[in-house]
Structure 1
Amino acid sequence: MGPEHILSTYDRVAADFDKQRGKSLFERAWLDRMLAIAPPPRRVLDLGCGSGRPIASYLMDRRAQVTGVDGAAAMVALFTQNVPGAEAIQDDMRTLALGRRFDAVLAWNSFFHLCAEDQRGMFAVFAAHTTPGAALMFTAGHKEGEVMGHAAGQPVFHASLDPEEYRALLDAHGFEELRYVPEDPDCNGHTVWLARRRNDAG
């Protein structure tokens, strides 16, 4: 089960995934950090938004304007149902070209389903959708490699670049690294990157 099966898998298990997805909001501290640096009006692009619970719902509660993007149609349908005040778009994040910019871009537990080469290409997508000073936050692995995980009992592909390559890609695309915590014990072991688009970036 490689990266090419991710969208069909999530389409198939969307309802079970939504039921089983933890709602404790262990991500809260990181989401608050992202919102704290996002310039007003805090328009957030949530890439790989899934069913919208709990992350997009929390962002909306914090008065952010959320646009959720997911390539799985069943996930977009759930997102629309669960977060009715948000914009929902079905699209592939790898080729996304909305023609507008956001004050924060989030790829939480989504970007890491892409193969290494597609992850490299995502940094141009991040740059094309961020305003100067915007926040960028994503999760990845803590070291280079590929592993298999599970979503609603189904195997799913994960990949990561080396942390130094992520740093180089952020810098090359106009982002300043603000915080990096590998396997954060306060966030269920997630490896999290938080960056900001430089004001002088094109």
Structure 2
Amino acid sequence: MIAFIGGWAKIRRGARDHVLGLYQRPAAAFARQRSHRLIEKPWLDEFIAAMGGNGRLLDIGCGNGQPIAEYFIRWHLPVTGVDDAAAMLDRARSRFPQQRLIHLDMCAMALDETFEGLIAWDSFFHLPREDQKLMFPIFHRHSHTGSALMFTSGPGNGIAMGEFEGEPLYHASLAPEEYCALLTEQGFAVIDRVVEDPLCSGHTIWLCKRVE
């Protein structure tokens, strides 16, 4: 486990900086190890259906762009990708030069536009819990009535440490009740949710739609 010392602000900053650095340094290794088998396909198809089968898509924490953004591009959905790891974003730009890919901290996102679909797959759960709460008004700001939102989280309230390239990798999650309350506050309804989906490598997945 990472030892974060100091007040809560330092803990939050330390966790975020560590994750960002980890994704920056071994971007090529991550690209090699990331499965392209697309076990996520049933969920991605359900997400596209929730969007109405078309429209613009915001990929929050797009990374290298493979395989998630790549799948949407094959569906001819215009993708705007946001990521704070420049090395990973550079790889995405080299593969998908026609897409809009922005080097930006997701917590500072203010694009002054809305999208038919927003996805944060294996990305915003690297944020400390207090920062995750701040993302829900951002989801609202970048959506409109009818927009689909899909994200992954942990199965329950807490912090979990994974490992990548021999280094600890931080994950955090709110309680399901907190996510539900935050979604409701921002006008989203949960239309599908599976905890630790055995058909999707144990991911906990939320599929939502903005209803107001």
Aligned to 1:6, the other structure's residue is in SS state helix
8 Å Cα contact 1:20-1:152 kept in structure 2: no
Instruction: Return the letter of the residue paired with 2:124.
Output: F
Match of 1:77 among 80, 90, 93: 90
Match of 1:101 among 109, 114, 127: 114
Q: Which runs of 4+ in 1 moved over 3 A?
A: none
Structure that is richer in strand per residue: 1
Whichever of the two has the greater Rg, that structure is 2
2:195 aligned with 1:191: no
Q: Distance in 2 between matches of 1:149 and 1:120?
A: 22
Partner of 1:20: 33
Match of 2:105 among 65, 72, 92: 92
Q: TM-score, normalization: structure 1?
A: 0.95
Partner of 1:180: 193
Structure 1 segment 130-149 matched on structure 2, within 5 A: 130-149=143-162
Partner of 1:112: 125
| Superposition deviation, residue 131 in structure 1 | 2.0
Say what the alpha-carbon RMSD is for the aligned residues. 1.1
Structure 2 residues without counterparts, runs of 5 or longer: 3-14
2:27 aligned with 1:7: no
Percent of pairs with identical residues: 46
Match of 1:44 among 57, 68, 76: 57
Match of 1:150 among 156, 163, 166: 163
| Superposition deviation, residue 71 in structure 1 | 0.4
Match of 1:60 among 65, 68, 73: 73
Q: Distance in 1 between matches of 2:143 and 2:164?
A: 29
Count of matched residue positions in the alignment of Structure 1 and Structure 2: 199
| Superposition deviation, residue 40 in structure 1 | 6.2
| Superposition deviation, residue 42 in structure 1 | 1.7
